[in-house]
Structure 1
């Protein structure tokens, strides 16, 4: 089967780099499947899980808090704000981040400008996605 190269990079390190059959990424507009030969594009990512497909099944799951992805016919490069293998997520840590994000959003909703509210909402949604990923049963 045809493959494409998937690179997932966070500010701290390269988390994944290998040939894959498909990558599912959490684009801002909705989940997006990237296959070999995909049309070139750059997309914004929302908080969610990247699923790596090889051999007809999901082999890796990584949570990203946001970022960007550049897609070409041969490659998908994810530049993540923060990325963690789903197996390494902690429900307790995710709950704490969610509580902090909810408080920040409540504060921003009262006085911040529109850009501040949007940023607080994006962080809140990413925290909710992280908790969902941490709570989900392993495949």
Structure 2
């Protein structure tokens, strides 16, 4: 099976650079899988789990957003925040949810006349809580306020 060059970077560091047989991406328009010979695509990311399948196995990364550029030979992900799944402890996840909640509160307070901004912030919080459920962490959120 043909591979693509996969690179994942966040503002803090380069997290991965590997030949991958597939990359599962949490895109804002829906989950997608990129493989060799994919049509050129640029997509935004929603909070989710990015999965990279390669000869050495499978790696998972929790991303909070960003962009993916896909073409026939490579997949490059520029994440707003990304961590290997193994580094996402309950404490780290709680901070990520708190950041998303603060963004929603800020949008409600400062941009109440822009419903699209408030809706996007609410979706971000909802997606972040869903990530925790997916990876087995407790969101400690009874409602999204």
What's the TM-score bracket when you normalise by the shorter of the two chains? Answer: 0.7 to 0.9
SS in 1 for 2:7: strand
Q: Which moved more, 1:116-125 or 1:18-27?
A: 116-125
Aligned to 1:128: 129
Shift of 1:122: 4.4
Length, aligned pairs only: 135
- Quote the Cα distance in structure 2 between the aligned partners of 1:122 and 1:37: 32
Aligned to 1:73: 72
RMSD, aligned CA: 2.4
Contact 1:91 1:134 in 2 (8 A): no
Q: Which runs of 5 or more structure 2 residues have no equivalent in the other structure? A: 138-145
Q: Taking structure 1 as reference, are residues 6 and 94 closer, same or farther at Cα in structure 2, changes over 3 Å only?
A: same
Contact 1:3 1:36 in 2 (8 A): yes
- Quote the Cα distance in structure 2 between the aligned partners of 1:14 and 1:93: 19
Is residue 30 of structure 1 aligned with residue 35 of structure 2? Answer: no
Q: Which runs of 5 or more structure 1 residues have no equivalent in the other structure? A: none
Question: Please, what TM-score do these two structures have when normalized by structure 2?
Answer: 0.80
1:83-132 deviations in Å (ceiling 9; x for gaps):
00011101233234324533542563365232541452244134314423
Q: Which moved more, 1:94-103 or 1:83-92?
A: 94-103
